[in-house]
Amino acid sequence: MNTKKRFTIKTIAACLLAAGALGAAQAQTKLKWAHVYETSEPFHKYSVWAGEEIKKRTNGKYEVQVFPASSLGKEADINQGLTLGTVDIILSGASFAGRTSPPLAVSYFPFIFRDAEHQLKYAKSDVFKELAKGYDDKSGNHITALTYYGARHVTSSAAKPVAKPEDMKGLKIRVPDAPAYLAFPKSLGANPTPIAFAEVYLALQNGTVDAQENPLPTIEAKKFFEVQKNISLTGHIVDSLLTIVSGSTWGKLSADEKKIFTEVMQEAAEKTGREIIASEARLVDEFRKKGNNVITVDKNAFREAVLKNTKPTDHGYRQQDYDRILAIK
């Protein structure tokens, strides 16, 4: 083969490689994954892990960038972003998804879950699949996974410890702005005050509210223990997050890609939940060592007081969904 021919073949090969690389670059799709949690929390850690896994399992076709700590907006904003097309994937509470499909938020009703394991079984149950489909059908978005978030406990200022249901009366407590969260304080005579998650620390610090309620890992990550002396182990809501993919993004995925996204997101949810459960087990002692007053309460007394004054149907939830979740073994 003469030199001229060799040069021509090499040139063509180089052009083909360059065109292939350009095609691959053009085919790559960048996705935005948003949440409101700190980079130190498992929710962020495993969102990043999921993004890397999606990239790996789709041979680099999808590049997922995770935006933590409300950097793309508050929880209501990122939920709206799914419809507006400003985000592709979010982690969000079912309370926000419940604004579109109210039955889904029954899982936030106080004392519906016995413990973390009960909720993890619910995540794999037919009732969850049916409720998630109801949201999908109404919103056009798609729920891929449910993550254990933690058991919510009340923290309060030094002057207002909560040891029994009666101590909640008149307490000005920050809660997320959703019916199921409001049910607990309202049923006990407290004054619920919805405040955006990113603004809670300052509200506690300056006395805008006396109290708030969140799981122990969140109390640690958001440093609420610094401005709240008392931590009462009420465990009134066993909380969760949903992984939601926007309808426009989900609709562009092939069947194989949908399978990959679902498997990765469910694996991430499982890993996150197990880490949260482990951290809950150690944090009680850690808070005591920090000088917080950790109060062990009679949870049955709180449960009875709440259920005496409110029921699922008062908040737009279906009794049959509530009963089916209670029955999960």
> SS3 letters for 159-206?
CCCCCCHHHHCCCEEEECCCHHHHHHHHHCCCEEEECCHHHHHHHHHC
Question: CB-based burial of residue 10 (10 Å sphere; 0-12 exposed, 13-18 middle, 19+ buried)?
Answer: exposed
* Cβ–Cβ under 8 Å, residues 187 and 309: yes
Q: How far is CA 60 from the centre of its chain?
A: 27
Please list, in sequence order, all residues whose beta carbon lies within 8 angstroms of the beta carbon of residue 79, skipping any fewer than 6 positions away: 90, 92, 96, 97, 99
Give the C-alpha separation, 16 to 22, whole Å.
10
Q: Is 65 helix (H, G, I), strand (E, B) or coil?
A: strand
Q: What is the DSSP string of 104-130?
A: GGGGGSTT--SSHHHHHHHHTSHHHHH
Give the C-alpha separation, 80 to 72, whole Å.
11
Place of tokens 């495993």: 46
Question: CB-based burial of residue 109 (10 Å sphere; 0-12 exposed, 13-18 middle, 19+ buried)?
Answer: buried
Would you write out the chain's pLDDT as a tens digit for each of its 329 residues? 555 555 455 555 454 454 444 444 446 899 999 999 999 999 999 999 999 999 999 999 999 999 999 999 999 999 999 999 999 999 999 888 988 999 999 998 999 999 999 999 999 999 999 999 999 999 999 999 999 999 999 999 999 999 999 999 999 999 988 787 899 999 999 999 989 888 999 999 999 999 999 999 999 999 999 999 999 999 999 999 999 999 999 999 999 999 999 999 999 999 999 999 999 999 999 999 999 999 999 999 999 999 999 999 988 899 999 999 999 99
Query: What is the reported pTM?
Result: 0.85
> Which phi and psi angles does 34 have, rounded to 5°?
-120, 145
